[in-house]
Chains A and B, each alone.
Chain A
Amino acid sequence: MTANVMRDPGDVSAAQHRLHVVSFVAGKYVPVIFLFLLSIVIIAPMVWTFSTSLRKGKDSFTVPPKWLPTDFAVENYAEVFEKVPFGRQIINSTLITWGTVVGQLISAALAGYAFARLDFAGRDLLFWVVLATMMIPIQAVVIPVFIFLRNMGLVDTLWSLILPAVPTAFGTFLLRQYFLTIPIELEESGLMDGANQWQLFYRIYLPLVKPGLAVLAILSFNFHWNEFFRPLIFLIDNENFPITLGIFQLQGYMMTGSIAVVLAGVVMSLVPVILIFLVGQRYLIEGIMRGAIKG
């Protein structure tokens, strides 16, 4: 776009073209810059959490905020374990979460398969009943469930969190959808080869719904690792707490004194979910979108 061209009175389109280029460039880059600024605002609290968790206790809550970890006060992480039984709580969270995930995978795979591929009287009615229970929020049942668990002597044990979480209407629905996508011809050829009903399920169908199992496992892991409401009600002794309650208690102890220690606890609680996100984000995102397909 030289001055020569511009001077040519007959060529109006060149100026117009330049205008188009400018607005095209603006239209292309302004949103990106805006997104970029917003992404910084969204990540900032996490970066601040991490760098503050490594600052020396007494000046961890001061302004101006520092963004780079400069002190490397690793002792904050050790102090978490002195203030609350954090080692015990990590084990509790792990047992509760994995117990629930494994239980859900087994029970939902069986039920999802039954609803998708087996015929029996009352199947569709039962399916609708299961589906309807997805509408029931935990708060609507928490009082009777608590009384039941107390009568069974399970309050203040990890079982009080695992057992009620294993039956999953959502997981059953999700895996049913996956089983339905598998062509029925596979089953017929399996029967020809003399497979019995259990082998059909276990050897032929189950390996083919592995992506569905991964989606359920990851969504369920995230949900139960981060749970707060049920543990708060069902557990009493902090030796039995999961880390969400541990962090809550830690925050109560430290007030605004050394927030670095509290944030060290937060950082540690995030490690497993971030690891799982890195390995299985494909399944996590698929899981979120799966839910929306059928409204």
Chain B
Amino acid sequence: MTTAKGASDGGGLWHWLMQDTMDGLRRRRAILGYMFLLPTLLGIFIFTAGPVFVSFGLSLFRWNIFKPPDYVELANYERLLGDVRIAISFGNTLKFTVLAVATQVSIGLLLAMGVHRITQTAMRYYFRTAFFLPLLMSGAAVAVVMGYIFHKEFGPLNYYLGLMGVQQIPWKTSADWVLITIVIMSAWRNLGFTFVLFLGGLSNISREVLDAADVDGAQGFRRLWSVTIPLLSPQILFAAVTGVIGAVQVFEEPFIMTRGGPGNASRTAVMVLYEAAFKNIEYGYGSAIAVVLFLVILAFTLVQMWMSRRWVFYQ
């Protein structure tokens, strides 16, 4: 396009562009394409793609409120490796991620299979709405509400468990329970997502396949394992990948409900990042945590995608 004749002066350029030929049309469409992309590309460059590299760069500096940035090579990463609080927080995040994703996916699958068999429209609508509603709440609202529900003395949950003879459980105040509590509240909210996803997947499975399974005598667990799950595998992969990405970023729930406590029992990776960068104002150290967090998410996602080639089945 650079060799076009007559592009030497303004009028010529206009003529070159507006030519009533296929070439002119192609040029106009190309220019329009770049113009249409400009806001998005520029924005992504400034706010996402560029900053990723800046984060990598910043992680090599010591930079706090007292001193100007100082190049320290990998010192932040060395400090990070020796920081017990960070090790605990990443460990908590890992435990939380495994438990939360397993719960969300398995219970969401059961709910979807149950509701899929219901043929009555009103009942289907009721269940779909009921299971979906918590997903509309913000993480902050969930954390506030669940903070009361899980209260040891006055919470409704312990009251009803008490009626069944269960002793008051220290949901938020015991280091053994607090992660489980956060898993339960996050599953409560995210079930709506996996449920809707799997319900949609089930309704896409062709009737003939299920009938064929019936004829072959596949029933119960066998049918679940060898027919339903393979046919739903694209949705299960999607739920697992997005579930892991979301769970590794867990923040509001422990931040609002327990402030990371008791001790460090519910401190998560994003919480230590927040504390380092925005409470202690150590941008370099915070960036090092951000880089590690990013690499963890990336590794998780790539491993899941790679493993999925062996078990995901596209209809």
Q: A111-B39, A120-B33 given as contacts; is B136 within 8 A of A45 (CB)? A: no
A133 adjacent to B114 (CB under 8 Å) = no
Say yes or no: B37 contacts A111, CB within 8 Å: yes
Interface residue range, chain A: 35 or more
Please give, as numbers and ranges, the residues of chain A lying within 8 Å of B277 by CB-CB distance.
142-143, 146
Does A251 count as interface, using CB distance less than 8 angstroms?
A: yes
**Which interface class (under 10, 10 to 19, 20 to 34, 35 or more) fits B?**
35 or more
Chief secondary structure at chain B's binding surface: helix
The answer to whether A63 touches B159 (Cβ under 8 A) is yes
* Cβ contact within 8 Å between A139 and B293: yes
B284, closest chain A residue (CB):
A143
Using a Cβ cutoff of 8 Å, how many contacts connect chains A and B? 264
Q: Which of A2-10, A70-78, A258-266 contacts B (4 or more CB under 8 A)?
A: A258-266
Q: Which residues of A from 167 to 216 have beta carbons under 8 Å from B? A: 167-169, 172, 197-198, 201
Rounded to whole Å, the gap between the CB of A24 and the closest CB of chain B is 12
Q: CB distance A118 to B33 under 8 Å?
A: yes
Q: Is the CB of B256 within 8 A of A251?
A: yes
**A69: interface (CB < 8 Å):** no
* Chain B nearest Cβ from A175, distance in angstroms: 11
Question: Of the 9-residue stretches B5-13, B82-90, B141-149, B174-182, which lies at the interface with chain A?
Answer: B141-149
Q: Tell me the interface secondary structure of chain A in the complex.
A: helix
Q: Is there a chain A Cβ closer than 8 Å to B249's Cβ? A: yes
Within B99-144, which residues are at the interface with A (CB < 8 Å)? Answer: 111, 114-115, 117-118, 123, 126-127, 129-134, 136-141, 144
Whether A167 and B51, one on each chain, are in contact in the complex, defined by CB atoms closer than 8 angstroms, is no
A136 touches B140 (CB 8 A): no
A-B contact pairs, 30 of them (CB 8 A): A34-B114, A35-B114, A39-B131, A42-B188, A45-B145, A61-B148, A106-B39, A107-B40, A118-B29, A136-B48, A136-B52, A137-B297, A140-B291, A141-B51, A144-B50, A163-B47, A166-B39, A226-B138, A227-B138, A232-B274, A248-B256, A251-B256, A263-B144, A263-B145, A266-B137, A266-B141, A266-B145, A285-B196, A288-B193, A295-B314
For the complex of A and B, list the 3 residue pairs with the smallest distance between their C-beta atoms, beginning with the closest.
A167-B43, A226-B138, A118-B33
A49-B145, A143-B287 known; 16 other A-B pairs, CB under 8 Å?
Answer: A32-B118, A34-B114, A38-B111, A45-B145, A63-B154, A106-B39, A111-B37, A120-B31, A133-B44, A139-B270, A139-B293, A140-B51, A167-B47, A225-B138, A269-B141, A288-B196
A interface residues (Cβ-Cβ under 8 A, vs B): 28, 31-32, 34-35, 38-39, 42-46, 48-49, 52, 61-65, 106-108, 110-111, 113-115, 118-121, 123, 126, 129-130, 133, 135-148, 163-164, 166-169, 172, 197-198, 201, 222, 225-229, 232-233, 244-245, 247-248, 251, 256, 259, 262-263, 266, 269-270, 273-274, 277, 281, 285, 288-289, 291-293, 295
